[in-house]
Chains A and B, each alone.
Chain A
């Protein structure tokens, strides 16, 4: 069975925020909630790196361990989802998550006033009937059930953000790393996209 993962190639991410926009639009995510965001390190300095971050769908997810109402779960495909009906908005998952993935619609507020947790679903909806109105309203579009990948990855213009089965993503990234080589350029086109096939020989 597939184990779904995201992989962001920091050599290719150009901080266009296409993934953020795609996610917001596809799931009609409300103001104040960002299921995905782009983080840039050393912004403006030559050699800066950007990375698109959302829920990483951890294999041993700390949010699942700390949820007091036990409403966060792993699907058989390795996607971390939650049942909003049982969420009490305590924020424990937010504190436990190393990526800041869990979001609350009412932002920083007192316990009980934050609203129900919202996070990236790997475009896999939630525990409602596939493609139902309730599923869309609570969790957003279920692209996985349509045989599609998360829109953020499919929209990525430089293919920095990849999504899918971990083993297959590793194959793609391994080929990239081989094409790039090592120490060719610190930053730039060749580092991001590698040599073409003839040159690589």
Chain B
């Protein structure tokens, strides 16, 4: 027996494909700030010279920064 509408199936597939273009998802990329993937770093006052004494490290650095002001050094 011959089908009444022989092109029904291909027509339906073609219509589906055509309509698929209308339902396209937005393709704008959402960039996300990456997270650091490297090795963890230690803090400057850990180990060695200051042995974990953060206050002493801050004092030492503060003195160094202030000594850059030659007005205070020479006057």
Known contacts A65-B33, A169-B65; is-contact A145 B71 (Cβ 8 Å): no
Report whether A142 and B68 are in contact in the complex, using a CB–CB cutoff of 8 Å.
no
- Bound state CA distance, A22 and B53, in angstroms? 29
Give A65 to B32 CA distance when docked, in angstroms: 9
Known: A65-B33, A175-B69. A147 touches B61 (CB 8 A): yes
Once A2-B58, A164-B65, A175-B71 are accepted as A-B contacts, the answer to whether A70 and B47 lie under 8 Å apart by CB is: no
- CB-CB contacts of A125-167 with B at 8 A, as 1s and 0s? 0111111000000000010111111000110000100111100
A contact residues around B50 at 8 Å (CB): 145, 147
Cβ contacts under 8 Å, A197 to chain B: 71, 75
Asked whether, in the complex, the Cβ of A145 is within 8 Å of the Cβ of B39, the reply is no
Residue total for A at the interface (Cβ-Cβ under 8 A): 46
Contact B41 A168 (CB under 8 A): no
CA distance A86 to B71 in the complex (A): 45
Chain A interface mostly helix, strand, loop or mixed?
Answer: mixed
Query: A199 on the interface (CB 8 Å rule)?
Result: no
Counting CB contacts under 8 A, is A119 at the interface? no
Beta-carbon contact of B34 and A145 below 8 Å? no
Consensus secondary structure, chain B interface = loop
Query: How far apart are A147's CB and chain B's nearest CB, in angstroms?
Result: 3
Verify if B30 is at the interface (C-beta below 8 Å from A). Answer: no
Known: A165-B65, A169-B65. A86 touches B46 (CB 8 A): no
Q: Is A85 an interface residue (CB 8 A)?
A: yes
Residues of B within 8 A of A128 (CB): 39
Instruction: Please state if A129 and B49 are interface contacts (CB–CB under 8 Å).
Output: no
How many Å from the CB of B28 to the closest CB on chain A? 18
- Given the known A-B contacts A164-B61, A164-B65, are A147 and B41 also in contact in the complex, defined by CB atoms under 8 Å? no
Q: Does A83 contact B (CB under 8 A)?
A: yes
Interface residues of B (CB under 8 A from A): 33-50, 56-58, 60-62, 64-66, 68-71, 75
Can you spell out 30 A-B residue pairs with CB atoms less than 8 angstroms apart?
A2-B61, A67-B34, A70-B35, A76-B43, A81-B41, A83-B38, A83-B39, A85-B39, A127-B39, A127-B40, A131-B47, A145-B44, A145-B47, A145-B48, A147-B49, A147-B57, A147-B61, A149-B65, A154-B64, A159-B68, A159-B70, A164-B61, A164-B65, A164-B68, A165-B62, A165-B65, A168-B65, A179-B71, A197-B71, A197-B75
What is the interface of chain A, defined by CB distance below 8 A to chain B? Answer: 2, 65, 67, 69-73, 75-77, 81-83, 85-86, 124, 126-131, 142, 144-149, 153-154, 159, 162-165, 168-169, 171-172, 175-176, 179, 196-197
